[in-house]
Homo-oligomer: A and B are copies of this chain.
Amino acid sequence: MIVVMKKGASQDAIDHLVEMIEGLGLRSHVIVGTERTVIAAIGDERHTHKESLESSPEVDEVVPILAPYKMASTEVKQEPTVVQAGGLTVGGTQIGMIAGPCSVESEEQIVETAKLVKRCGGTALRGGAFKPRTSPYSFQGLKEEGLQMLATAREETGLAVVTEVVATDDVELVAKYADVLQIGARNMQNYRLLEAVGNVDRAVLLKRGAAATVDELLLAGEYILSAGNPNVMLCERGIRTFEGHTRFTLPLATVPYLHQKTHLPVVIDPSHGTGHTYLVPDMASAAIAAGADGLIVEVHPDPETAMSDGYQSLNFAQFEAMMQRCRRVATAIDKTI
């Protein structure tokens, strides 16, 4: 890292910083500029209390040079990770297509939707059994009963099951039924939960928090990787900005950025990323053109009666049309769905 001293910093302060840096097990290198002195601290800065350097009264700022994550980095592993979970493959030239309702509502609803997803070429079924809801007055999910319905739908179609887990206590139960454990945006920095799914033999779909930086997303992934689970997919589902015409702002540049920084595959959620059904198909196509390794999309047999997220769910005809368009775009960039 680079420690930038304030203008006119005293020699004593510089000496003191050099001592602190070397006390952290790093080498130091002082560069006297025309207006400022900077000190380069050389070595692996990840395990040090580097923040404390910024507390020094004559230090202006501390600029990290190395990425704070390690196992997730392309600097450690260059070949892209391909995650496989049941019928779902994400990574490489195969685009994984995960679709289904926001909430599992009934066996009929989930099985019917699964059959559509399968028929249109999807490879995994999403559906929430444990629902984290902003309001305590909203529907909270069917819980284990919902998980059983997902398993039934898997039996009928062969689709992999992707479903959210919201608490460490539920990890074992959800893992019993699911192929992929989803960590929702609101739990991206629930570190106990990250550690728990890091200890389970299931792939993980880790959603970016709405205000999380990409580095924070990668560090959340690092929690799972360092707990021993290498099957992590990162999911961009939109960030909070001043934009009001979409529920979140979906920054697709995350896809090529992450592909440069990490070997983990990147999935895009155009449903939460826009919050409006009519925006989903164009953004799904765009995500594929941007290089996404997978999509996760909300589909419901009758969005008007959905118990959650109807306003951003595709009906069956819309999903079929979207799949056709996406397949053509995928072909144009030499990938397949």
Tell me the A residues contacting B by CB distance below 8 Å.
2, 4, 7, 20, 29, 31, 33-36, 38, 40, 42-44, 46-47, 49, 51-52, 54-56, 63, 65-66, 68-69, 75, 132-137, 139, 166-169, 186-187, 189-192, 209-211, 213-216, 219, 222-223, 226, 239-246, 249-253, 255-257, 260, 273-274, 277-279, 282-283, 285-291, 303-311, 313, 325, 328-329, 331-333
- In the docked arrangement, what's the CA distance between A20 and B286, Å? 34
A192:B219 contact, CB within 8 angstroms: no
CB-defined contacts of A136 to chain B, threshold 8 Å: 191, 219, 222-223, 226
**4 new A-B contacts at CB < 8 Å, known A36-B65, A211-B242:** A31-B31, A132-B191, A214-B243, A252-B286
Copies in the complex: 4
The answer to whether B36 and A31 touch across the interface, beta carbons within 8 angstroms, is: no
- Contact status A52-B303, CB under 8 Å: yes
Q: A66-B36, A253-B274 are in contact. Are A189 and B186 (CB under 8 A)?
A: yes
CB distance from A12 to the nearest CB of B (A): 14
Enumerate chain B residues within 8 angstroms of A329, measured Cβ to Cβ: 289, 329, 332-333
Which of B34, B213, B310 contacts A43, CB < 8 Å?
B34
Give the chain B neighbours of A332 by CB distance below 8 A: 325, 328-329, 331-332
